[in-house]
Chains A and B, each alone.
Chain A
Amino acid sequence: MLFFRSEEHVDQWCKVNGVAKRPLVSLDQLWQLAVTWYGNRLTVESRRPGPDEMVRIFSDIGLEGPFWDPKSDQWASAK
């Protein structure tokens, strides 16, 4: 989960490193993820979201599809 100056830099990095280009996330989406995931991390109630919660959290900010599904077996044999 890395920062890039622009999508062109992502393209270049993927090409140089032989990495498949995956979905891009905006700054605002990243912040929403951070708040939802870690906002209560220093409290008694904090816990890691379960798989179905994860899908809902991603979907709520527009990140949908098997890439964002922790139960997907689409990449089961990939790194």
Chain B
Amino acid sequence: MDFDTSVKLNIYETIASTTRMPTSTEVALAIDSSVPEVEQAFQRLSEKRLLVLEPGSSAHIRMAPPFSGIETQHWVRIKDKIYFANCAWDAFGIAAALKRDTDIESACADCGETLTFQIRDGKPLPQECVIHFAVPASQWWKDIVYT
């Protein structure tokens, strides 16, 4: 396995088990590497659009899609763990990535009413709602946080 893949897997394994985004120092300790090497890998992974770093930081991850490094309006509960997703797609993405029965709590972007979703046995239970993609695919990465 190459170095960047080791870094990426450690990031995702850490989030999955702790719900927290690891820092470059934590990843370096976990895979027995150095912080500069890990931060270079963070940069390469962000160039491949697999990570989004906090603005101006080489050590802190804002997004490792579908996971968010900060609290958002999209709560994803699996057993006793709560993850935060970057958007509607990513809320379902966490359930798909972790392959567990999942409860999602979000809100209607218009009226703020709570919307809940259940993923059971690998598929969502019926729920009346629609999802609106405001940004065309060609523009997603111009401002991925807005997207």
Cα(A19)–Cα(B147), bound, Å: 13
Nearest opposing residue in chain B for A28, CB measure: B124
Nearest opposing residue in chain B for A72, CB measure: B138
Q: Hey, which chain A residues are within 8 Å of B30, CB to CB?
A: none
Instruction: Evaluate whether A38 and B97 lie within 8 angstroms (CB atoms) in the complex, with A5-B113, A9-B111, A44-B5 already known.
Output: yes
Cα(A39)–Cα(B97), bound, Å: 5
Cross-chain pair count, CB within 8 angstroms: 165
Report how many residues on chain B are interfacial, defined by Cβ distance under 8 Å.
55
Partner of B88, one of A2, A5, A10, A23: A2
Nearest CB of A to B93, in Å? 4
Cα(A78)–Cα(B140), bound, Å: 11
Q: Hey, which chain B residues are within 8 Å of A14, CB to CB?
A: 132
Instruction: Evaluate whether A75 and B109 lie within 8 angstroms (CB atoms) in the complex, with A4-B132, A34-B89, A38-B97 already known.
Output: no
Contact of A5 with B96 in the complex, beta carbons under 8 Å? no
Cα(A4)–Cα(B123), bound, Å: 20
Contact of A41 with B12 in the complex, beta carbons under 8 Å? yes
Report how many residues on chain A are interfacial, defined by Cβ distance under 8 Å.
53
Contact of B110 with A13 in the complex, beta carbons under 8 Å? yes
Contact of B142 with A48 in the complex, beta carbons under 8 Å? no
Flag whether B57 is at the interface (Cβ < 8 A).
Answer: no
Flag whether B49 is at the interface (Cβ < 8 A).
Answer: yes
Q: Hey, which chain B residues are within 8 Å of A9, CB to CB?
A: 108-111
| A residues whose Cβ falls under 8 Å from a Cβ of B | 1-7, 9-10, 12-14, 16, 19-31, 33-35, 37-39, 41-42, 44, 46-48, 54, 58, 66-76, 78-79
